[in-house]
Amino acid sequence: MRPAVGGGDGTMSDDLQRELGLVRQQIDQVDGCLLDLLNQRARLAQQVGEIKSRHGEAGFIYRPEREAQVLQRIQGMNPGPLSNESVTWFFREVMSACLSLEQPLGIAFLGPLGTFSESAATKHFGHAARLMPQISIDDVFREVEACHADYAVVPIENSTEGAIGRTLDLLLTTPLRICGEVVLRIHQHLLSNEESLGRVSKVYSHAQSLAQCHEWLNRSLPLAQRIPVGSNAQAAQLAAAERGTAAIAGQAAAERYQLPELASNIEDEPNNTTRFVVLGRHDAGPSGRDKTSLIMSAQNQTGALSRLLAPFSDAGVSMTRLESRPARHTLWEYVFFVDLDGHRDDAPVRTALAELVRRAPYLKLLGSYPVAAY
């Protein structure tokens, strides 16, 4: 008679332990190899820094185009089972740690800690970066302009709420260049120390997050008072200290302020996404998959905008975004924010820009930069 599975003689348990032991030995060996290779990579990164220093480029230890090329190559080589998102996260953290051996990058963003802006900053620069939360988007720009921070990460548009007006206004006047972008899926959670929705009488959150969860709030908390505050992190701080309240915020705020999720993923649009731009004091070179952003104005006459857009189609350049914004210096005049596929050094983009210089009353190139790696 065959013994029952898991029988009392211990045979199956011994076999299980033996098989697991063999696999775990292999895992330990791989971990050892990984550790050796990671430190080998770190030493090579240090050599890169030393070479740059000898050639007078020590101030630019971070090259967005080089990082983008590494991530594109890794994603193309990835055979699985790890997803491209997972390997991208891992290699970003490796590069972040290697950069920090030379000098941790100072990253300014709209604070406080626990906001989606912090999540975007760490997604792009890794956890070895020196985070520098600011109280306003204006202060984020100023920190980099004054050389107190190396880079800024600021929101520029949301898939449901549209453009971030203050960021667009500041891009008109800043000397900073866009050298990267971050695309962040926005998952909103209802955070509270209360154990049920029935105990929640107030909901704190940023006005934009309240708008993004409007329908869910109507269905689930129709009687709760909705109170807009300066940031989702501030909302979490308030909810953590006050009974009968909740905050709408992301996972970073939940972890930082130790608030349980009373309800998860409550955003009305499941594909809710915010795009951030990375601002620095230098340009990014071509990576092979790039965007170019610019601001232009049109004369107040029939067909003026059509004439401005014609050079793009004539040169075969795809325009991916066109956003109008009031020109702050003149009443009822507008400027246009444009995103293009390609780098300004690519021949088609260069041709289109050369013609645009002749046609546009005002033209400012905000930067060419690698397309976000997901």
Chain centroid to CA 151: 13
For residues 194 and 243, state if they share a domain: yes
**Which residues have a catalytic role annotated?**
274, 276
| Within a domain: 25 | no
pLDDT > 90 in the chain, percent: 71
Give residue for tokens 């049920």.
196
Output the pLDDT for position 1.
Answer: 45
Instruction: Say if residue 239 is exposed, middle or buried (CB neighbours under 10 Å; 0-12, 13-18, 19+).
Output: buried
Last residue of a domain, one of 82, 103, 124: 103
H or E stretch covering 251? helix 251-256
pLDDT at 332: 56
pLDDT at 343: 97
78 and 149, same domain (yes or no): no
Q: What is the 3-state secondary structure (H, E, C) of 122-150?
A: HHHHCCCCEEEEECCHHHHHHHHHCCCCC
- For position 46, which CATH number holds? 1.20.59.10
Do 98 and 116 reside in the same domain of the chain?
Answer: no
pLDDT of residue 120: 95
Tell me if 18 is assigned to some domain.
Answer: no
Domain count, the chain: 4
Residue 3 belongs to a domain: no
pLDDT attached to residue 354? 96
Domain co-membership, 241 together with 226: yes
Q: Please report the pLDDT score of residue 11 as a whole number.
A: 59
User: Which range of residues forms the domain containing residue 226?
Assistant: 189-263
Q: Are residues 64 and 112 in the same domain?
A: no
> Hey, is 288 helix, strand or coil?
coil
Each residue of 334-344: pLDDT tens digit? 899 999 999 99
| Predicted confidence (pLDDT) per residue in 172-182, tens digit | 999 999 999 99
Contacts of 331 (CB under 8 A, 6+ apart): none
- The CATH number covering residue 247 comes to 3.40.190.10
Decide: helix, strand or coil at residue 315.
Answer: helix
Residue 77 lies in a domain: yes
* pLDDT tens track for 296-343: 998 878 888 899 999 999 999 999 999 998 877 665 578 999 999 999
Q: Is the distance from CB of 176 to CB of 229 less than 8 angstroms?
A: no
Residues of the chain with pLDDT under 70: 1-12, 56-60, 329-332
* Claim to verify: residue 109 and residue 98 sit in the same structural domain: no
Indicate if 179 and 111 belong to the same structural domain.
Answer: yes
Strand partners, 151: 107
- Contact of 238 with 204, CB cutoff 8 Å: yes
Q: Is residue 29 part of a domain?
A: no
Shared domain for 116 and 149, answered yes or no, is yes
**Of 336, 316, 317, the residue nearest 325 (C-alpha):** 336
Q: Which residue among 53, 72, 103 closes a domain? A: 103
Mark which of 73, 103, 133 sits at the end of a domain.
Answer: 103
Judge whether 135 lies within some domain.
yes
Which pLDDT score, from 0 to 100, does residue 334 have? 84
Reduced DSSP (H G I as helix, E B as strand, rest coil) percent helix, strand, coil of the chain, to 5: 45, 25, 30
CATH number for the domain harbouring residue 331: 3.30.70.260
